[in-house]
């Protein structure tokens, strides 16, 4: 975990009966454990790396393990490469309207008083005052609530948060390995475009609990990641929402399904084309490719691994 982050591993502190319930929920999900995988189809080969977008010194062990694979690869595929990040940063610097939700009532009016108090307080901890939060696009508020305050402080002090994604890109740049993005730079602004106004608010509501305990959640996520328990944090957060009794179980499930569809499932499907084409092109050179993206994209019926399996790829766990 980043040096500035402290908190409690909430999953480790769960009572035994709740841990049993969590394990049962996670166990139903395909490929729920493991962050390093190999997919092969004919001569084509993809080494898949589930990443954590948060800094941690243990990432260097993973990078060392991948050293030979990276040296022999034809290309590295990531969610967003250096060119895409440069375009995104330029767009944010030149067009604040990308983040400002003009033409709709302020969030302070759209959320009930208790919800607004929780959201505005959590955003203030991340350096964004209530008057600014009130006019931000809901998807951006939701993403910020998922960013632990400790890591926001760390980013302010050191420039950028790299996570394993950044280390992979840095390693590729040093060795001259071509880097390809799995999606356009503007994906961040389009992935929530199909949501209704109420669905946007539901995504914020579903993020309030995580936003309130974000430092603990960051520690919990990090420890689960390095234990290879990729999907456990997702189901843990669902169980936490059940326990909070802020919503019915059906409402919680609907919110989680919406978030999973927007953040993961739709993108996973879109990544299959670039991954397959890249691997087949590399096979012509008798090489493979390496693909690094958020670990939550790996598991599930609509996860990248299951989608590849359905498309005829053989899947092998490497960790």
Q: What is the pLDDT of residues 77-108, one digit of tens each?
A: 999 999 998 988 888 777 655 678 777 889 99
pLDDT grade, residue 45 (50/70/90)? very high
Note whether residue 9 is domain-resident: no
pLDDT of residue 157: 45
User: Residue 211's domain spans which residues?
Assistant: 16-317
Note whether residue 292 is domain-resident: yes
pLDDT of residue 52: 94
Q: Which residues contact 183 (CB under 8 A, 6 or more apart)?
A: 79, 80, 267, 270, 271
Residue 293 forms beta bridges with which residues? 50
Domain count, the chain: 1
pLDDT grade, residue 4 (50/70/90)? low
Q: Which residues contact 40 (CB under 8 A, 6 or more apart)?
A: 46, 313, 314, 316
Note whether residue 4 is domain-resident: no
Whole-number percent of the chain with pLDDT over 70: 94
H helix runs in the chain, sequence order = 16-27, 59-65, 67-72, 82-94, 107-110, 113-125, 130-133, 138-145, 149-158, 163-175, 187-190, 197-212, 214-226, 232-244, 249-260, 266-283, 304-310
Query: Residue 91, CB half-sphere, CA atoms under 13 Å: how many?
Result: 14
pLDDT of residue 85: 87
What string of H, E and C letters represents the secondary structure of 71-87? HHCCEEEECCCHHHHHH
pLDDT of residue 158: 44
Kindly report, residue by residue over 188-210, the tens digit of the pLDDT. Answer: 778 887 888 888 888 898 888 77
Q: Is the dihedral of CA 193, 198, 201, 202 positive or negative?
A: negative
Note whether residue 7 is domain-resident: no
């Amino acid at each position: 975990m980043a040096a500035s982050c402290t908190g409690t591993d909430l999953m480790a502190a769960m009572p035994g009966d709740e841990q049993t319930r969590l394990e049962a929920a996670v166990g139903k999900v395909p490929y729920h454990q493991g962050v390093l995988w190999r997919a092969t189809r004919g001569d084509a080969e993809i080494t898949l790396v589930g990443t954590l977008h948060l800094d941690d010194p243990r990432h260097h062990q993973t990078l060392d393990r991948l050293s030979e694979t990276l040296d022999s690869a034809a290309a590295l595929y990531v969610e967003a490469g250096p060119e895409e990040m440069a375009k995104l940063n330029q767009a944010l610097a030149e067009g604040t309207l990308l983040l400002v939700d003009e033409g709709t009532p302020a969030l302070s009016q759209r959320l009930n008083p208790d919800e607004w108090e929780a959201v505005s307080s959590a955003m203030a901890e991340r350096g964004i005052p209530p008057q600014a939060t009130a006019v931000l696009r809901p998807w951006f508020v939701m993403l910020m609530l998922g960013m632990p305050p400790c890591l926001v402080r760390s980013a302010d002090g050191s420039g950028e948060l790299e996570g394993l994604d950044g280390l992979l890109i840095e390693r590729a740049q040093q060795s001259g390995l071509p880097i390809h993005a799995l999606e356009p730079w503007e994906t961040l602004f389009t992935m929530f475009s199909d949501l209704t106004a109420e669905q946007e608010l539901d995504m914020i509501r579903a993020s309030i609990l995580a936003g309130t305990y974000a430092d603990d959640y960051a520690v919990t996520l990090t420890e689960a990641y390095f234990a290879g328990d990729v999907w456990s944090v997702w189901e843990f957060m669902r169980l936490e929402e059940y326990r909070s009794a802020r919503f019915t179980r059906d409402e919680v499930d609907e919110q989680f399904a919406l978030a999973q569809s927007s953040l993961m499932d739709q993108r996973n499907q879109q990544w299959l084309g670039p991954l397959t084409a890249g691997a087949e092109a590399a096979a012509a050179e008798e090489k493979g490719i390496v693909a690094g993206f958020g670990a939550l994209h790996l598991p599930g019926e609509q996860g990248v691994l299951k989608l590849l399996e359905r498309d005829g790829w053989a899947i092998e766990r490497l960790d």
